[in-house]
Amino acid sequence: MTRLLIIGPPGSGKGTQAEQIARHFSIPAVSTGDIFRTNVSQQTPLGKEASKYLDDGAYVPDHLTNALVKERLLDPDVQGGFLLDGYPRTALQVAELDDMLASLGHRLDAVIELRAPDAELERRMLQRAKEQGRKDDTVDVFRRRLDLYHRETHELVAVYARRGLVVSVDGSGEPGVITELAIAAVVKFLTT
């Protein structure tokens, strides 16, 4: 049973890496971003509320995100492990995740931190916007998301580092190479 979390700035390749790393460990990748986008496209009540925040590059409020993740962590396919992508993003969400996992008798095994320079992140975002046509990928929205990451989410790395859970990986370069580095780092971390 492997329970992982991946953290990194927008454009760092979290989604791509989460899928590959999760596949390697035979666990589901749980992406709040994908869940939000699905709800927005399907015009669900949560999606309508979430779109107000996503379109402006803001975070969806903790109470909505927490409820979504809590429900997902009760699904049978995640009982043997998971890789969380996009959650937690705030100190309050860290506390909520701790409570959720403790209530299930679980804990996180490792936190993967992807690092990359801001200029590379912006280049990737512009490329993704061109390829996928995502309306939330504009320079202004990206810069707001990056600023939010630096002001709020990055502090979570320090929280998990104090717990001895962080595995830092250079997120620059080719995705396949990054995947290999991340898997090797996590395997080494989990076996030492």
Task: Tell me which residues are annotated as active site.
Answer: 14, 89, 128, 134, 145
> CB of 53 within 8 A of CB of 144?
no
> CB of 108 within 8 A of CB of 3?
yes
The closest alpha carbon to 71, from 46, 49, 50, belongs to 46
Backbone angles phi, psi at 165, to 5 degrees: -110, -10
Distance CA 45, CA 40 (A): 9
> CB of 191 within 8 A of CB of 126?
no
Q: Which two tokens stand for residue 132?
A: 């996928």
The amino acid that residue 104 corresponds to is L
Residues 6+ apart with CB under 8 A from 17: 6, 112, 114, 171, 175, 178, 179, 182
